[in-house]
Structure 1
C-alpha cells in the first residue's frame, strides 16, 4: 500500500450525504447529559454501522513465526472482518488513515468522530460533534458520590475497578441503556467519551482529599482530562502530548479488550455491559496495565542504579538470568517494532525537554534499556514503554495510566460494539478437548 502523506487527513474532502432526522432523548429522573441536540451528522450512522471489508491490498496481519497449529490465545487466527482498523507488521490504519498521519495532523476529537461515525468530519460536523461532547460532560451526582465514597473507604481500590463501577452506574442511569439501535448507540458512545475523563478526575482528586473541578467548556477533550485530574490548566505542549497519546491508544482491531466487547455485544447485550467487559480485560498487565508495569520497572532500575552500585547493563543481565518478564516490550503483531512507540517517545521527550527538564533522565534510561533489549533479545518496545515515561514526566499518578487508556480506547470499543450489533452473529468458537478419555461412571 502506498504511504499516506502528512497532509492526507487534513486535505481530503468528505462527501456530503443526506441528513438523518434528529432523535431526542426524553430524560427521566437524574439527567445524564444534555443530549437534546439530536446529533445531526450527515450520513453518519450509515457509515458507523456498516461492516466494510478491509482493503485486500493491506499486508497480512499474521506474523511470520506464528504456527497455524498453535491456536493458544488465538495467535495468528483471523476470526472476522472489520471496517474500523487494520493492524499489520508495517502499518496501523484507522478507517483508511495511517496512524502517523493522524498523530501529526488530526485531533483526538477528529479521530473519535472518524472511528465512531465512519468518515473524516467536515468542519461543520466537527464543530457540532465537539459542541455536543462539551454538553455531555455531566456526571450524575449519585455517580460522583459513589466514586468519592470508594476513594474514601477503599483508597487502595484499583482505579480500573472504579472506572468499571462508574460505567456500570452510568448505564443504570442512561435512559437509552437497553436500546441497541444505531442512533442510540452513537449517543451513548459519545456520553461515555465525554464523561469518563470526569470520572477519572473525580476519583484522583478524591484520593488527594480535594473536591472535583467542573469541566471547562473552553478546553478540548485532552486538555479537559488533564484539568479534571489536576485542577490546573495545561499548557499547549502538555495538552498536545495528551491528545497524541489518546489518538495512539484509540483503536487496535481485535485486541483482548475489544474482542471481549464484541463477544458481549454479540449476545445482544447492551453497550455499557460490553464496555464494562472491555475495562475488565484492559485492567490486566498483559494488556492495558502494561504501561503502569513498564514505569514501575523503570523506577526499579533507576533506584538500583542511580547510586552507581549497579549498572543498567548489570540490572538487565540479572533480569535476563532470572527470566523476568520486562514490561513494555514485544508485541503479538508488531515483530519489527510498534509504530506508535516512536511517536509517543518523541512527544514525551519534547515535553520533558521543554517543560520538565528533571524528567529527561527517564528517557535517557529508557533509551538505554531499549538499546539493551534490541542488542540482547532483538525485542522492540511497544507503545506502553514510552507511555509510562511520558505520563510520569507530566506528573500523572501511575495508577491512573490505564484509566486514561480507557478514556481513549472507549472510541474503538464503541465503534466495534456498533459494528457487531449491525451485522450480528453470536460469537461461539469451538474448543479442542484435551481431557481424559471416555470412562464408565459405574465401572
Structure 2
C-alpha cells in the first residue's frame, strides 16, 4: 500500500496535500517522504490556518508553535493566505512566528491576525501586544508587497499606555494602515479611549469595520464609505449621549446609499432600551442582534423592522439570558415573527430565545426555507395555540395538529421543510455562541 501511495502522480499528491491542514501536511510528508517535494508549490498551500489554540493544553502549545515556525521558514514563500489566531498570549514563540511571516512569506496575499481568540480569559495586561509584537505586525504589512487582504481582529489596546504598544496608532505611524481591509475593534480594543476614532480615516483600504456605536460619527463613516467601505458592524451596550445619538441619522444613510447602494449594516444591541425609534428607517440593516435588553421587544418593533428592512434584513437574533422576569414577552410576538419570515425576502437566519409553541415553529419553518432556525428546547411548549387562519385548508390544519405534539414529531417535520436535519438547541442560548465575527467579548 505504501508503494502505491508513493507512486501517485504529482498532480494527485498536490491535490491531496491542498486539503490537509498545515500540521497534517508535515505529518503526511514524514509518513511518505517522496511527497515532500510536492509541498514546494503554491498549489499545496491554498490556506494556512492556525487557530483554536486555546482549546488545547498549554503544555502542547509550545511544540505546536515550534512546528508552525519551521513550516513558515521552509515553505513560507509558497503560501498565499494566512490566518493566525493565538489562544494564549503571544510571548516569545508568537513573536518568532510573526517575524517569520514577515521574513519568509513574501508572496502572501491575505493575512488575518487575531492576537488572542479569547481576550476575556485573562486581564488586559496579559493579552496586550508588546512593542516588539506591534513592530512585527507592521513589518508583515510592510514587507509582504502582494498583500491585498488584511484583517486585524480584536486587538486588546490600552490607549493611555505607551504608544509603541498601540497597534492601531503604529499601523498609522508606519504608513501601512491603508493595507488593512478588515478591522474589528471590540470594547477591549478601546480601553481608555475618549471621543470619536478619527484616525479611522487613515485606514483608506477598509472594506469591513466593526466598532462601538459611539466611536463613529457622520464625517468618519462617510469618509470610509467614499474610500470603499462596504459593511459595518455597530455594537452598543449603553445609552448614547445626545450628541452621539444625533449621528448616523436618516440623511447620512441616504448619502451612503447614493455612493454604494449595496452598503450593509450589522447591528448588535445589548443591555439597553430598544424602541421603534432605535431603528433609522432607511438604514440598510442586514443583521440585527438584540441580546439581554432592559425591555421587551414588542410586536410594534417587529412590525417596524419588517416595514423598513424587508429588502435588506438577512439575520435576526433575539435572546435574553438573564432577565427571567421578562420571559413571557409580548404574546403577539410569535405571529409577528411568522410575518417577518414571510415578508423579509432575504431572511435566512432566525434565532429566538423566548417561549415559543411547537405550532409557531412549524409555521416559521413553513413560511421560508431558512438556513438556520435556532430555538432553545427549554422554551418550547407542545401545543396547538393558533386559531385557524383564512389561508389554512383542512389538510394544513391536520398537518399542524399532527406534528406539534412532541419533540421528535416537531424536529422531523421541520427537517423535512428546511431540507436538512434540524434539532432544538440544548446549550446555553446566547448570541456569543453563534457568531464568530460578532461573538467575541465585546
Tell me the TM-score normalised to structure 2 length: 0.25
**Bigger relative contact order, structure 1 or 2 (CA pairs below 8 A, ≥6 apart):** 1
Name the structure with the higher helix share. Answer: 1
Name the structure with the higher strand share. Answer: 2
Tell me the TM-score normalised to structure 1 length: 0.25
Tell which structure's C-alpha radius of gyration is larger.
2
